[in-house]
């Protein structure tokens, strides 16, 4: 045991080594800016290791009192036009008479006051900020003789335009999807919530990438305890890079070892807005079009954004259908194994005869046959997702012909097995959330194995274990199976079915929102919105 622990610590959790490296890096950055621009620029060049896209220019501005200034920016992050205007502006303008005592700080103030061509002017005192500003696309101006620098926003980062979401497709409702730019994503949310109570808290995470992570919530609706908890967990992330919300998710999940997703990522701003309005917290990450909403429950994950846009009766039927499909994708092949290997008395006679005849000459027992087919199907599916688009067609043909047709003709599998695999495979894609799809895909194999050993009895045992496990899950303190367990009658209105919007007067109890009622009514008065 101690040996194992040692090994574990060395590989996963070596605090000593980590601290060392951290000190090395940050100690450089916390130095103050030097008063001489020559020193500054040399230091900067060294700090960036003479990176070829770090551009540095020295200029002399003003006529009678001349001042040396240094301009630094990173070529690949800035808009060249903006930098050009900035430089022109600096050169073209006449300096006012300098203050006798502090000639150089005067210049700095002058720059700050007169340079309006670029936004977000900031004073900088230390190298930490300098490098940060440079890396987020700002242009930093050093003034000779002062130990302060000024930065202006000249950033222009390449990113996609707002397009339709790729994964969470809806036939009804808004069709905008998030992009890779955090700014755009926040603006997509802001423009849907016209309330000052929408709070956006940004924080860079990742020692190397310094990715901006934004925390969004509605002040006055979201439970402050949940907000605090999310903040705390975000602060505790200790990593070098963050590229996607999925990485954040793994750090902040309640239960790390579970097949069930306890947070969901959305590509649709409207989904995130509806979560925010219900009192959830959203986490957006710069550089990815997926945003996380927490806390979520299992039933919430099985819901689609569309459910709220189409008529409630249709939405309810579709939700039921989705739950049934999830069950089929979980139990389909396992049930087939159990029925054909253990409980033949449960099949209608003619079906039994037909299956029996089809299985004649198949060299494997039902379970092996099913595992083979499901495994092949999974491989095929994974290949189809990863393969270059040009290969899609041949892959589909190979899958359909080789697996569907030839394997049957060759007598390796029975035709009914192909049907079962196809039905369970398609059913797993009905779930609107990819995470649930993967859950059912993995759990299916467990169910198949146990049903091959114990039949329906085994399926029942594993189901009991699975439900017990789901029952134990929490998403930021919210029971995973709410509102069914613990049962909250008034929340069942928006769970397995969805009642009309005018009946959904309260926010979900399980979130413990600050304001439970969506709308405040005054008797005999107009409806007043509560925000």
Partner 1 sequence: MIKYGLILSLLFFPLFMTGCTGYHQDIDQLAIVSAMGVDKAANGQYRVSFQVINSSQIASTKTGGGGGKSVPVVVYTDTGKTLIEAIRKASQQVTKRLYFSHQQGVIIEEKVARAGLKDVFDILERNIQQRLQLNVLIARRGTAEDILKVLIPTEMLPGSRVGEALKTSSRVLGETLESNVRDVVHGLTDDGIEPAISGIELIGKDEQGQSMSNLQESRPVAYTRINGIALFRDGKLQKWMEGNTARGAVTLLDRLKNTVVNINCGDKKDALAIEITHARTKLGADMNKGKPVLTVQMAFLGNVYEADCPIQLNDQETIDRLQHRLEREMKREVLSAVKTAQKEKCDIFGFGETLHRSQPQRWKTIRNRWNPIFSKAEVRVRAKAIIDHAGLRFDPFWSSK
**Which parts of this chain interact with partner 1 (CB under 8 A)?**
340-342, 344-345, 349, 352-360, 362, 365-366, 454-458, 461, 464
- Min CB(381)–partner 1 separation in Å: 28
Q: Which is nearer to partner 1, 193 or 412 (CB)?
A: 412
Given a contact cutoff of 8 angstroms between Cβ atoms, the answer to whether 70 and 56 are in contact is yes
Given a contact cutoff of 8 angstroms between Cβ atoms, the answer to whether 135 and 273 are in contact is no
- Min CB(18)–partner 1 separation in Å: 39
Q: Which is nearer to partner 1, 68 or 359 (CB)?
A: 359
- CA–CA separation, 56 and 47 (whole Å): 13
- CA–CA separation, 504 and 489 (whole Å): 12
Residue found by looking up tokens 């009914």 in the block: 416
- Min CB(471)–partner 1 separation in Å: 13
- Measured N-to-C along each axis, helices 434-454 and 456-472 cross at an angle, to the nearest 10 degrees, of 140
Secondary structure string (H, E, C) spanning 13-26 = CCHHHHHHHHHHHH
Q: Which is nearer to partner 1, 34 or 454 (CB)?
A: 454
Question: Which of helix, strand or coil describes residue 280?
Answer: coil
Q: Which is nearer to partner 1, 297 or 414 (CB)?
A: 414
- Min CB(354)–partner 1 separation in Å: 5
- CA–CA separation, 131 and 140 (whole Å): 9
- Min CB(359)–partner 1 separation in Å: 4
Q: Which is nearer to partner 1, 316 or 354 (CB)?
A: 354
Q: Which is nearer to partner 1, 155 or 451 (CB)?
A: 451
Q: Which is nearer to partner 1, 359 or 441 (CB)?
A: 359
Q: Which is nearer to partner 1, 396 or 461 (CB)?
A: 461
- Min CB(316)–partner 1 separation in Å: 34
Q: What are phi and psi of 189, to 5 degrees?
A: -80, -45
What are the CB-based long-range contacts (under 8 Å, 24+) for 180-187?
180/286, 180/287, 180/288, 180/289, 181/157, 181/286, 182/212, 182/214, 182/284, 182/285, 182/286, 182/287, 184/159, 185/269, 185/284, 185/289, 185/291, 186/214, 186/216, 186/284
Half-sphere exposure (CA, 13 Å, Cβ side) for 307?
26
Q: Among the residues of 161-214, which ranges form H helices? A: 182-190
Which of 144, 59, 67, 143 minimizes the C-alpha distance to 98?
67
- Min CB(416)–partner 1 separation in Å: 10
- Cα–chain-centroid distance for residue 470? 22
- Min CB(364)–partner 1 separation in Å: 10
């Amino acid at each position: 045991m101690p040996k194992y622990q040692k090994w574990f610590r060395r590989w996963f959790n070596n605090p000593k080594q980590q601290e060392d490296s951290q000190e090395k890096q940050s100690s450089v950055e916390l130095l103050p800016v030097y008063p001489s621009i020559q020193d500054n620029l040399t230091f900067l060049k060294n700090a960036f290791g003479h990176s070829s896209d770090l551009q540095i220019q020295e200029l002399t501005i003003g006529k009678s009192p001349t001042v040396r200034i240094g301009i630094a920016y990173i070529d690949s992050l800035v808009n060249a036009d903006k930098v050009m205007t900035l430089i022109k502006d600096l050169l073209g303008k006449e300096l006012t008479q300098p203050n006798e005592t502090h000639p150089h700080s005067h210049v700095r103030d002058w720059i700050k006051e007169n340079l309006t061509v670029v936004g977000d002017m900031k004073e900088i005192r230390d190298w930490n900020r300098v490098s940060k500003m440079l890396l987020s696309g700002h242009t930093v101006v050093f003034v000779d003789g002062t130990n302060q620098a000024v930065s202006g926003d000249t950033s222009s980062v390449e990113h996609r335009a707002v397009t339709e979401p790729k994964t969470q497709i809806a036939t009804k409702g808004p069709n905008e999807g998030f992009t890779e730019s955090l700014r755009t994503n926040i603006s997509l949310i802001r423009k849907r919530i016209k309330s000052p109570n929408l709070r956006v808290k940004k924080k860079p995470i990742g020692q190397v990438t310094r990715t901006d992570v934004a925390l969004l919530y509605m002040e006055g609706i979201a439970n402050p305890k949940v907000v605090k908890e999310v903040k705390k967990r975000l602060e505790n992330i200790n990593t070098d890079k963050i590229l996607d919300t999925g990485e954040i998710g793994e750090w902040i999940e309640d239960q790390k070892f579970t097949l069930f997703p306890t947070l969901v990522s959305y590509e649709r701003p409207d989904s995130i807005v509806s979560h925010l309005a219900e009192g959830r917290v959203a986490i957006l990450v710069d550089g990815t079009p997926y945003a996380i909403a927490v806390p979520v429950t299992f039933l919430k994950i099985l819901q689609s954004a569309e459910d709220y846009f189409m008529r409630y009766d249709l939405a309810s039927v579709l939700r039921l259908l989705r739950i049934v499909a999830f069950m089929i994708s979980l139990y389909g092949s396992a049930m087939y194994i159990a029925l054909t290997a253990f409980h033949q008395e449960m099949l209608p006679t003619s079906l039994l005869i037909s299956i029996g005849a089809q299985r004649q000459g198949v060299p494997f027992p039902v379970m092996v046959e099913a595992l083979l087919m499901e495994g092949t199907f999974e491989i095929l599916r994974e290949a189809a997702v990863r393969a270059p688009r040009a290969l899609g067609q041949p892959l589909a043909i190979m899958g359909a012909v080789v697996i569907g047709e030839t394997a049957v003709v060759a007598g390796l599998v029975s035709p009914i097995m192909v049907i079962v695999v196809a039905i369970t495979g398609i059913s797993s894609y009905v779930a609107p959330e990819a995470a649930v799809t993967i859950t059912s895909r993995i759990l299916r194999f467990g169910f198949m194995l146990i049903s091959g050993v114990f039949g329906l009895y085994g399926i029942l045992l594993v189901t009991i274990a699975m439900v017990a496990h789901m029952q134990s899950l929490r998403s930021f303190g919210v029971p995973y199976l709410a509102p069914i367990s613990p049962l909250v009658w008034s929340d069942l209105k928006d769970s397995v079915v969805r009642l009309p919007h005018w009946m959904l007067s309260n926010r979900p109890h399980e979130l413990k929102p600050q304001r439970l009622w969506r709308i405040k009514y005054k008797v005999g008065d107009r409806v007043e919105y509560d925000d």
